[in-house]
A and B are shown apart, each in its own frame.
Chain A
């Protein structure tokens, strides 16, 4: 047995049970789902009828529980299931939620909290103020350790193939931390400016805000971060790292994959040499027309790499990469890309006037464009990467009279290039979807006409992937002078792969786990392995290769790369539920130069945004993941305690007995529409009022929410959600009368001029000292009115009008005005208790509390022998009764442990 007793729930009942059992000499594991023990009592202002400060009497209980030598407190832990063993003991599955903070190092200094950029409604202040995603619940928390609240990975971050913390930089920009945003992106990629312009932005498609009024413009924000930073810093602020490794790495190919790998390896301290066949580094990025990616932006992105001391040797093609390994390089990364146009096997492709897209764009980039002036140009597009549109828009700018693009796919299937389609259409390009060239007809070897066929939409396979369409009957003929084939690219046999094992399509074969080729120390990645891909995917593979090579050079286990060991993405429904009452804020549209103007030059089409617009857009982020991974806490923590690598862990415990002390839920008055809660700001719950009155109060005084005015005529409405069939709770909640009287007394102390009226059915001051406490409040001047309030309405000034039957007076329906209304909400069972045990073995009573099977003689005994319920998990009860009930549960639990041990 690991522990004699497992206590589930660290509120008043759980602490009392654990302490009592610990004092008796039994070993106890106390499990609490929140980051602190203390339950609801620690959140209260004072407690009735003694008016003890709740902090003052709960804090020592918390501390002595936590420090008790016999009690092990496990916070931030939930129960996955408990089952009884044949021995009579219990096996409990604990789910220890990752805190992302090393508790051994954390000193509770709260610097992470100050640095955190995500605000979340503070559940410990019942939503009246916000807290951070990195947080310590409150000043008296035990243990006083920070946790990072992560619901999962935000969908945008999860969607990024390059591992950029999209949520993180959006949050930083929202917070005005623009340099930090840029640096966070630079953690993942050097090509910030490039991606900010050309990325197809899978992040935005994943954005939960799409389900509302359009995604956060994440790509634009990235561009904003880069543009701003590059303007301030024409050259990188850093140089080569100081700590260098001895092992040298060669990278073949200075495209996005190769340079990204070089970048990360250089940051890790490896001397890196890049060999590039072309005259300039950048690879395929050089082929992106400047109206989409200005050359100086690309150059600046590449400077991010070279500033680290990476040497790029251009004009040096490497035919046999393994030779580099023999030349003193300890590792080689081959990322030579796909530079050969795929030419489809259709009639006439060898005619004069027909060329491949790579060939076309290469000539344009080299300043030697083919002559298309006055011509009709047809571009046959394959699809997803938009190269066809680049060709078409370039041809248009070069003076072609008519430019037509034919896509084999429907527009819907081409959503990744939707922006480029829009821009091209605006610029006068004709686009035909679901059409492909079938035959190229020439005269004297010169292309004159293209016959094209209609493509039927292909179906989808079981995974949802679109199947290739079939050729339909509709053919069409078009006079064409120039034809550009942008239907695909491949590696070609030109070189760079000799000595390596390749597929029939010439891509290099690697071990997918390590990215290593058959030759030890030689790695390959990017398009030369995967075939043509997007820029961001190539960059992602470059990052991965760097990690693989590092592990190889450091002699570390060659496990599967863990960049994608992110938490699973947050369910959108979860975020949307939370967002119910948020106002809408439509997405800002892209800012483009006028089409007429941009058709005549190669200047950039899309304009950037200013700070105000960027921050406003970023502020639309709804923090799906909780923590945004902006990593500010990492830099802020003086103890180096933040650890994003932590994961939830499961722990199995065998225990002799179980005490269920899971407490109660508060009635949510939103459903009781006539009381106005959630509609009228000045209607609050008593729990919120208790926070306003507590020593750790959020506003440092009692203010009403609508206008921050100090209230002077306060009403309490008792039995809200209790003794009420309409709210499906016919029980009395047992504590509301007394906490209301307590609050009334506290209000009279805090606001001596305020009038307090309590509307009641019966005043249930039944416990020891309660009646005297009630009488004392009457003597203080609290006004008690017998009458059940039927309706609350709001006046013009935020005041509230209560309607009730004045039973004790003249018996008429009366309307009275108050400036703050507090709903004395009732207690409900915490139904989580009933699912703790496998197979629903823990029986509920008729009201969904944990059933006590022998309340007369063994209060706390449940339907499972060896399992005892303590406190308000069994029925609404106040603190004194909870303490007694917990003592009883402890005594019974101890007796059971004695039997099991015997």
Chain B
């Protein structure tokens, strides 16, 4: 390629980089590099003003490659590709050098050496930029239909919202009935509406929509294709159903934590999980009774199966978010049924966040007694004389030991991800340490996953209550609509490519590809491998598998990698030679 004109920008990241790396030295060190036309430092490369400056430089200086040495590409690769694009430069002529995560943050104690390393990293980036070439994205027409997995309140509400936006929806529900947990509930907090009624409303409305199809006894078996154009095969009541959809929203929900046998005497009659107690409340009229006997005292124990509290081998470390609120609400419902009932709440922290604080107030005003225990020293529950005796140290009373006699023990159990390995194997959406589906970014992209076109919502992503689940499912609808209403998606061109001259079709690559993106084709008088551009993710797994060296990944060519290593190492090599 002819002589390049490269612009290099070194970002201070407002001190994140410049506190440890001398950015001015880095700039000075690379300003004289061959083909570097512009070398600048900037306080925040991502700021609008700095972006505009780059655009001006590209246009006025006629730059044909752009290097920004800043943070991780996870954060800003697309930002700066966008800059290139707005300046009229092919976005793949942009190279990001990670000076923050890979340099300044890693070497806070040795600023001089961090600076030296930064110089080498930027030189490598420049070397790579020299060998960039314009790449064109693959455009795929999208299918204006979505698949929703799970017909709980999140899934049903998502289906209606998609339908509102003119998208057709298929809902696949594994069980024989729709509505999930909410369909079982009576009065729910905070608006005192009945779960059954909410679900009935949604189901009635779905029945009126021509573009909503709900399958029960349905499970996802296979998924092929890619974002915007998936082919999915469902098993519906034993029959295969094949659908073409543009995206998938996963709202598979949760299961309640099931205490270990003997955990707070669980398994003994009268020790109930919160779910079981809610069922008891919803089924009660004219007084709170258990097995026909009136209940005089209810004692709640919080954080069962949450916050590291469990008698199981791998306790859940997370807080389940909804249980405090739900226990408060249950307490108030119990009081309404039997105003004379005594209620004790043994808690660690009351997490009635936000407006749910009012539930806590309400429970207290109705006479519930709150006792704080230390998570390290949990209450002891034992059965005695047909009732339960609970011993607890009250941390609100300087650790005073209390004995509570109670008829019922309610374990405020948390949420766990619904186990469904078969589905996970098909979707390939990663799960986090807590077992819930993992989002791309917990703050900014909570419903998107690393599998483009597959979204997560409701309690499949994290514990939350019904209204919050609905909010997240609507958010997933918005992202789905953003994907499908445009009519097309563009796929990254950074994918594998086969050199037909070198390839001898041994088939090694096929086995290495996790996306089944490699097929055999005829090429002249021989057979070679071909990469399906819409399936390939550019992961590169096939490249080392090829004994002929016939495979490469665009944007990460062997030539580029070698040039980067050379650029990075040359000083060190020369230095070692003395």
Given the complex, which residues of B lie within 8 Å of A768, measured CB to CB? Answer: 318, 434, 436, 442, 461-463
Name the contact of B349 in the complex, choosing from A59, A140, A764, A880 (C-beta under 8 A): A764
Known: A786-B395, A811-B398, A898-B164. A887 touches B357 (CB 8 A): no
- What's the least CB distance linking B11 to chain A, in Å? 10
Known: A730-B358, A847-B355, A884-B471. A57 touches B443 (CB 8 A): yes
Interface positions of A from 121 to 170, Cβ below 8 Å from B? 139-144
Contact B48 A142 (CB under 8 A): yes
**What residue in chain A is nearest B205 (Cβ atoms)?**
A857
Residue A883 lies at the interface, judged by CB distance under 8 Å to chain B? yes
Instruction: Identify which of A23, A767, A809, A884 gathers the most chain B CB atoms within 10 Å of its CB.
Output: A884
Contact A888 B444 (CB under 8 A): no
Residue B51 lies at the interface, judged by CB distance under 8 Å to chain A? yes
- What's the least CB distance linking A734 to chain B, in Å? 4
Given the complex, which residues of A lie within 8 Å of B397, measured CB to CB? Answer: 811
Residue B317 lies at the interface, judged by CB distance under 8 Å to chain A? yes
Bound-state CA distance A857–B398 (Å) is 44
Given the complex, which residues of B lie within 8 Å of A762, measured CB to CB? Answer: 349-351
Contact B398 A695 (CB under 8 A): no
Bound-state CA distance A730–B364 (Å) is 14
Question: Can you list, as one digit per residue, whether each of B13-51 has a CB less than 8 Å from chain A (1) or not (0)?
Answer: 111100000000000000000000000000110111101
Interface positions of B from 372 to 420, Cβ below 8 Å from A? 372, 395-399
Residue A894 lies at the interface, judged by CB distance under 8 Å to chain B? yes
Contact B202 A894 (CB under 8 A): no
Contact B353 A734 (CB under 8 A): yes
Contact B44 A20 (CB under 8 A): no
**What residue in chain B is nearest A809 (Cβ atoms)?**
B398
Given the complex, which residues of B lie within 8 Å of A877, measured CB to CB? Answer: 354
Given the complex, which residues of B lie within 8 Å of A696, measured CB to CB? Answer: 14
Known: A856-B188, A859-B467, A881-B468. A892 touches B353 (CB 8 A): no
Instruction: Identify which of A49, A765, A847 gathers the most chain B CB atoms within 10 Å of its CB.
Output: A765
> Which of B126-134, B217-225, B271-279, B473-481 is the contact stretch?
B473-481
**What residue in chain B is nearest A765 (Cβ atoms)?**
B319
Given the complex, which residues of B lie within 8 Å of A797, measured CB to CB? Answer: none
Contact A25 B485 (CB under 8 A): yes
Residue B190 lies at the interface, judged by CB distance under 8 Å to chain A? yes
Contact B399 A883 (CB under 8 A): no
**What residue in chain A is nearest B197 (Cβ atoms)?**
A856
Contact B165 A895 (CB under 8 A): yes
Bound-state CA distance A880–B230 (Å) is 29
Contact B14 A695 (CB under 8 A): yes
Residue A763 lies at the interface, judged by CB distance under 8 Å to chain B? yes
Given the complex, which residues of B lie within 8 Å of A894, measured CB to CB? Answer: 164-165, 478, 481
Contact A64 B350 (CB under 8 A): no
Contact B396 A807 (CB under 8 A): yes
Interface positions of A from 94 to 117, Cβ below 8 Å from B? 108
Contact A771 B307 (CB under 8 A): yes
Contact B479 A770 (CB under 8 A): no
Contact B13 A60 (CB under 8 A): no
> Which of B75-83, B250-258, B291-299, B570-578 is the contact stretch?
B75-83
Name the contact of B157 in the complex, choosing from A47, A771, A857, A881 (C-beta under 8 A): A857
Residues of B in contact, count (CB < 8 Å): 84
Residue A457 lies at the interface, judged by CB distance under 8 Å to chain B? no
Contact B398 A808 (CB under 8 A): yes
**What residue in chain B is nearest A888 (Cβ atoms)?**
B474
Residue B198 lies at the interface, judged by CB distance under 8 Å to chain A? yes
Residue B233 lies at the interface, judged by CB distance under 8 Å to chain A? no
Contact B442 A49 (CB under 8 A): yes
Known: A59-B46, A139-B44, A894-B165. A884 touches B319 (CB 8 A): no
Residue A772 lies at the interface, judged by CB distance under 8 Å to chain B? yes
Instruction: Identify which of B47, B202, B317, B354 gathers the most chain A CB atoms within 10 Å of its CB.
Output: B354
Instruction: Identify which of A140, A723, A763, A847 gathers the most chain B CB atoms within 10 Å of its CB.
Output: A140
- What's the least CB distance linking B562 to chain A, in Å? 32
Contact B202 A67 (CB under 8 A): no
Residue A411 lies at the interface, judged by CB distance under 8 Å to chain B? no
Given the complex, which residues of B lie within 8 Å of A24, measured CB to CB? Answer: 165, 478, 481-482, 485
Bound-state CA distance A762–B372 (Å) is 10
Residue A360 lies at the interface, judged by CB distance under 8 Å to chain B? no
Residue A573 lies at the interface, judged by CB distance under 8 Å to chain B? no
Contact B14 A63 (CB under 8 A): no
Question: Can you list, as one digit per residue, whether each of B236-269 has a CB less than 8 Å from chain A (1) or not (0)?
Answer: 0000000000000000000000000000000000
Contact A808 B471 (CB under 8 A): no
Contact B358 A731 (CB under 8 A): yes
Residue A885 lies at the interface, judged by CB distance under 8 Å to chain B? yes
Residue B526 lies at the interface, judged by CB distance under 8 Å to chain A? no
Interface positions of A from 53 to 72, Cβ below 8 Å from B? 53, 55-57, 59-64, 66-67
Given the complex, which residues of A lie within 8 Å of B434, measured CB to CB? Answer: 768
Bound-state CA distance A24–B487 (Å) is 10
Residue A800 lies at the interface, judged by CB distance under 8 Å to chain B? no
Interface positions of B from 431 to 473, Cβ below 8 Å from A? 434, 436, 441-447, 461-463, 466-468, 470-472
Residue B71 lies at the interface, judged by CB distance under 8 Å to chain A? yes
Residue B321 lies at the interface, judged by CB distance under 8 Å to chain A? yes
Residue B201 lies at the interface, judged by CB distance under 8 Å to chain A? yes
Known: A734-B353, A876-B354. A883 touches B475 (CB 8 A): yes
Given the complex, which residues of B lie within 8 Å of A63, measured CB to CB? Answer: 46-48, 51, 79, 82
Given the complex, which residues of A lie within 8 Å of B198, measured CB to CB? Answer: 856-857
Bound-state CA distance A868–B86 (Å) is 33
Contact A891 B355 (CB under 8 A): no
Name the contact of A732 in the complex, choosing from B43, B354, B471, B486 (C-beta under 8 A): B354
Known: A807-B395, A857-B198. A891 touches B75 (CB 8 A): no
Contact A898 B354 (CB under 8 A): no
- What's the least CB distance linking B343 to chain A, in Å? 18
Residue B170 lies at the interface, judged by CB distance under 8 Å to chain A? no
- What's the least CB distance linking B324 to chain A, in Å? 8
Residue B356 lies at the interface, judged by CB distance under 8 Å to chain A? yes
Contact B14 A139 (CB under 8 A): yes
Bound-state CA distance A762–B351 (Å) is 7
Residue A886 lies at the interface, judged by CB distance under 8 Å to chain B? yes
Given the complex, which residues of A lie within 8 Å of B479, measured CB to CB? Answer: 20, 23, 887
Bound-state CA distance A723–B356 (Å) is 11
Given the complex, which residues of A lie within 8 Å of B398, measured CB to CB? Answer: 807-811
- What's the least CB distance linking A538 to chain B, in Å? 49
Residue A50 lies at the interface, judged by CB distance under 8 Å to chain B? yes
Known: A731-B355, A734-B354, A855-B467. A47 touches B443 (CB 8 A): yes
Bound-state CA distance A894–B479 (Å) is 12
Residue B511 lies at the interface, judged by CB distance under 8 Å to chain A? no
- What's the least CB distance linking B153 to chain A, in Å? 8
Contact B193 A60 (CB under 8 A): no
**What residue in chain A is nearest B201 (Cβ atoms)?**
A857
Residue A775 lies at the interface, judged by CB distance under 8 Å to chain B? yes
Known: A732-B354, A847-B355, A880-B442. A60 touches B79 (CB 8 A): yes
Bound-state CA distance A890–B472 (Å) is 12
Bound-state CA distance A771–B375 (Å) is 13
- What's the least CB distance linking B356 to chain A, in Å? 7
**5 nearest A-B pairs in the assembled complex, by CB-CB distance:** A887-B475, A695-B14, A23-B482, A811-B398, A888-B474
Task: Add 8 more A-B contacts to A144-B47, A766-B319 (CB < 8 A).
Answer: A61-B444, A64-B82, A139-B14, A734-B354, A768-B463, A807-B398, A888-B470, A891-B478
Subset of 27 A-B contacts with CB under 8 Å: A23-B482, A25-B485, A52-B443, A53-B13, A57-B443, A59-B46, A59-B47, A63-B47, A63-B48, A63-B51, A140-B44, A141-B47, A144-B47, A696-B14, A731-B358, A734-B354, A768-B462, A856-B198, A858-B470, A859-B467, A860-B474, A884-B447, A891-B475, A891-B481, A894-B481, A895-B164, A895-B165
| Chain B contact residues, CB within 8 Å of chain A | 13-16, 43-44, 46-49, 51-52, 71, 75-76, 78-79, 82, 86, 157, 161, 164-166, 188, 190-191, 193, 198, 201-202, 306-308, 317-319, 321, 324, 349-358, 361, 372, 395-399, 434, 436, 441-447, 461-463, 466-468, 470-472, 474-479, 481-482, 485-486
